[in-house]
Amino acid sequence: MSSRLAETNSEFLSLRPQYTSDTGKLTRHVQAAVDWEATHGLLLKAPKIEGQLLSNGGSVEWLDSALIPAPVSFAPSPVPRKEFEKVVSLQPILNLLFDKISQDHEFLTSTLESIGSADEFTARIFSMYEELHRLDVAKPGVIGIHRSDYLIHAPESEPDSSPKAKQVEFNTIASSFASLSSIVGDFHRYMLAKTGYKDLLESGVISADQLPENESLTSIGDAIAAGFDLYGNNDAVVVMVVQPRERNVFDQRWVEKRLWERHQIAVVRLSFAEVNDKCTANSNGRLFIDGKEIAVAYYRSGYAPTDFPTEKEWNGRWIIEKSRTISIPNLAYHLAGCKKVQQVLAQPGVVERQEAARVRECFVGLYPLDGSAEGQQAYADAMSRPAVFVVKPQREGGGYNTYGDDIPGLLEGLSSEERKAYILMDLIRAPGFKNVLMREGKLISSEVVSELGIYGLWIRSADGRVIVNKHGGHLLRTKASDVYEGGVAAGFAVIDSPLLV
């Protein structure tokens, strides 16, 4: 490791290596890179092409099982080492904070009631939460699998300021790419060892000690297993609730593999509709699938309205929530991850009252867009200075946020009631970096920005004992700097790994 660490924005920018824009120099490495991805399970299912036909009129049935290499960066992208280590150390504090929020019925109610009926999806989840609270269903414990996402705020116009990791959002449901993220770190170590990145580097160096180890390949499965033990039935199963025609299957299969090979816990994959059709509960609230009791339901779906196209899907979720099965996340955790909660936490004194003052240094300005005086001022600011803001709804998964010049049109088209479903956030100014992205064997040189995610693992027993509270590895997603959104599954980004400087 270099003895010199980036203390200022100018140092961070100058310590970064410079990569070539000439992808032709790298083409001789592409086949080996793609083959490495295939042999290490760094894969996605191919996109479904409706109505695809052969020249003779037959259907292309093999497309249903076709696989493609996951989109990745050819080399790691720089992140300030001090900020990386800081947000890793903050994760247990955030885990505890959000568990406290999930147990604070008055806080959740007062915060989310202000959204009203402006967001039908969140209102439906909130209604289920209130009904479950009324029923007072006993669960053996709580499992939280989180991811706190950050951008590095390091504007070139402020060379003497320090680069700072600023929180974009805190995810409590379906935090994906933990498995593939770890494998991408291994891919970059392989490429460094084999090629030295000599054809890529124009200046600077990459050394192995700049590439941090990443436990996220195994940590999610181990956390689920620790929560599974609280249920008290070693013969039970885990249900992984997935989206129909899921493409990111292998990220999920690695979790399934860990559960079986390390913990001898079987996983059954179901959609919410299949939960409705195939799962039954007994008079004691225990849930079964094909005669096997379900100890844990791990959601890799359920974070967006599109996951609930009919009442059958909603009923599938409710069947799980009202049973003894431990859901990941439970309804309170799901709501705690709403953007409105994030905005309220940023208000003066809120995190301090929860004994989590350290997390404030990662916050940027967050404002309501409701009818309050603060909300009216935020609306006026967004209309007059849209370039410095982002407008966020209560959504996960990528593709929902509105930026810059698109903000006035969005806000003008919303009624005052509808605006309650959104928050306004200061735009984080992350510096661009020239990297090479690899999609389906093709190299693309691009100015990029990277978003760092730190996984958090939390297990609490029914009697309040904390079984697990730790970070669980990291994810780096990198996208072209002129693309605002950063979701890999949504097609905006590639999976990357951090180069610590």
Which residues are catalytically annotated?
Answer: 147, 169, 171, 176, 339, 392, 396-397, 477
DSSP 404: T
Beta bridge partners of 368: 423
On the question of a cis peptide bond just before residue 159, with omega within 30 degrees of 0, the verdict is no
Residue-by-residue DSSP string for 263-331: H---EEEE-HHHHHHHEEE-TTS-EEETTEEEEEEEESS-SSGGG-SSHHHHHHHHHHHTSSSEEES-H
Which residues in 264-277 are b (16+ Cβ under 10 Å) and which e?
ebebbbbbbbbbbe
| Longest alpha-carbon distance in the chain | 69
Q: Which of 203, 87, 140, 107 is nearest to 475 (CA)?
A: 87
> Cα angle at 410 between 168 and 398, to 5 degrees?
35
Phi, psi of 118 (to 5 degrees): -65, -25
DSSP 335: H
Q: Starting from the edge strand earliest in sequence, which strands make up the sheet with 389-393, in order?
A: 366-368, 422-426, 389-393, 402-403
Q: Which of 414, 436, 342, 4 is nearest to 149 (CA)?
A: 342
CA distances from 37 to 73, 408, 443 (A): 12, 43, 15
CA distances from 449 to 50, 102, 166, 386 (A): 33, 32, 14, 20
CA distances from 354 to 266, 341, 349, 350, 458 (A): 38, 14, 9, 7, 17
